[in-house]
Amino acid sequence: MTASRRQILTGAATAAATALGALPAAQAQTAAPARDPRNARAATTPEPLRARRLKVGDTIGLVSPANATYEREPLEIAVESLEALGFKVKLGANVRGRYGQFGGTDVQRASDINDFFADDEVAGLLALTGGSGCNRIVDKLNYALIRRKPKFFGGFSDLTSLVNAIHRQTGLITFHCPVAGSEWNEFSLQHFRAVAMDAQADLLQNPQGERGAHLVQREDRISTLRPGVARGPLVGGNLAVLSSLAGSPYFPDTRGAILFLEEINEYIYRVDRMLSTLRLCGALDQLAGVVLGKFTQCGPGDGSFGTLTLDEVFDDYFLPLNVPVYRGAMIGHIKRKFTVPVGQAAEMDARAGTLRLLSAAVL
């Protein structure tokens, strides 16, 4: 998916300000001076819409809106994993499809999603894998249908465009969560069940006290850039995919929101460019807070001596916002990951490195 991410059209950034609506006012308590409220809800912003919680015995519609799956075994493992969770699995008509690197043509991939939202037998939809190509179908979904028949919809990575677009267009709370082909370890499973199945107001907190053979914890640490507590709806996902939506009506409403970001396999100068797109389109102007997930294998690149570090890039873009910011959350291209409901109101504590949902994200 990296190759397609590098073709981000940053020229669309200046148009994106017109695409930003308004979200509910967020209250922030930070070490910096309080800001005036500037985020009253616009009349065009849909009210939050919640799907029914997933239950054991429900049927999950498996779709492949991004990359194709070239071998049989990954699909078999994904189906068996969902069945082990207690679900029945219905395969999208084109889940085995391939058009170039994509899991079928644009029409085929969008049709599978639309068909499953229309199918009363299907309780929720989960992506098989990420990759690239979701931006090609974001304008081909039947949002009126999705609004009439709200269901669980989840995935991460390239699915960033769809989970944010569906929420922006319909108000449906969607889920930045493991794809069906992910490693369903105990950590990921615990948070998925809590949020999507048990309708809990989950606490999203990194593992604590895992020192291993070391004197202190070295992995999955939290780093606080600016302490403070803030509340707002959650929006975000993969940085490259999110920034590629700038200027479109599918870009999330960031006013008063808690923005969460993650990335993989991008040089630091590209991370800087993507963040500049968000800044220039006004997406950072009225945030309540920022949660940075894992930026896996995002380094300077060969022969790039003297580049800014990620610490410096994040400081440059986020410290001037005077909102709570922390880094290291279990969000991203990692084995253990949170299930983050896009559009759900949450409270972040940047010093503690926690996100707490303020209510259930499903009914």
Residues recognised as catalytic: 157, 262, 333
Please give the backbone phi and psi of residue 165, each rounded to the nearest 5 degrees, phi first: -65, -45
Please give the backbone phi and psi of residue 230, each rounded to the nearest 5 degrees, phi first: -145, 155
* Cβ neighbours for 46, distance < 8 A, ≥ 6 positions apart: 147, 169, 170, 171
* Ordered DSSP codes for 118-143: H-TT--EEEES---S-GGGTTTSS-H
What's the CA gap between 306 and 349, in Å, rounded? 33
Kindly state the DSSP code that residue 168 receives in the 8-state scheme.
Answer: H
What's the CA gap between 188 and 199, in Å, rounded? 16
* Cβ neighbours for 256, distance < 8 A, ≥ 6 positions apart: 22, 23, 24, 25, 26, 39, 232, 233, 286, 287, 288
Query: Minimal CA–CA distance to 225: which of 297, 145, 169, 287?
Result: 287
What's the CA gap between 167 and 49, in Å, rounded? 8
Residues 108, 217 contacting (CB under 8 angstroms): no
Q: Estimate to the nearest angstrom the gap between the alpha carbon of 187 and the chain centroid.
A: 18
